[in-house]
Amino acid sequence: MNTKPRHKAFPLGWVTTRKNLLLVGGCLDKLCRLRHALDFDWAKLTLIRPEGRPFCDACLKDKRVCIVERNVQEIDVEQADLVIESTENDEIGKQLDTWCEIHRVPLNAMDKVSYCDIHYPALLFRDTLITAIVSGGDAPALSSRLKKELDQYIGPGWATAAHIFSETRNRLPSGQKRTDLLKKLAQDKRLSELIKENDKASIRNWIEDAINRM
């Protein structure tokens, strides 16, 4: 009999293009959620929150951001593809949970695990590579700590390699040969050395040599 526990949260790379994000709340120390959101290709980001809270310049300059200083309404949820709540108010979280269930919109509610359809991960960015650490809402502080630990070991060379691998994938004909080549290169020990050195020219030349030998 299999006694292995089943995970509550399934991590996905959800495509944000052409989708609308609704953020409700936005205490100053929680604005990292909005700053993170700016790094993704949302069609629109609507922030609904009380008056009188300051914003970072990046939030104000991004044309996708719509700031609304009033209480959240059901129509806001109906028009969203994802709702992120950070009000520290359980009644608002409960109301959003009800509206999200009615309109089938996934909800992430900060520190309100029972309302969450999606758990917000600890995010580590390296260009197109994103490391997301999820604990299913059980140990968010530990997820944050692990992110800091990994940040020391995942150097800038990974971003360089990701950019070059992306370029290579886009210009090669699709098919099994391309898949096999890129997998073989990604598993090669030589790549690890080049990533540590963050040597863009050497990574590119090494990949070109492999393509020529196909």
pLDDT in tens, 100-139: 999 999 999 988 989 999 988 888 898 888 888 888 878 8
CB 106 within 8 A of CB 119: no
Classify domain 20-120 at the CATH topology level: Rossmann fold (3.40.50)
Question: 16: pLDDT confidence band, cut at 50, 70 and 90?
Answer: very high
What is the pLDDT, as a whole number, of residue 56? 57
Cα(175)–Cα(184) distance, integer angstroms: 15
Rg (alpha carbons) of the chain, rounded to whole number: 21
Out of 18-32, 48-62, 159-173, 186-200, pick the least confident.
48-62
pLDDT tens column, 48-99? 987 655 555 556 678 899 888 889 999 999 999 999 998 888 999 999 999 9
CB 72 within 8 A of CB 92: yes
What is the pLDDT, as a whole number, of residue 52? 56
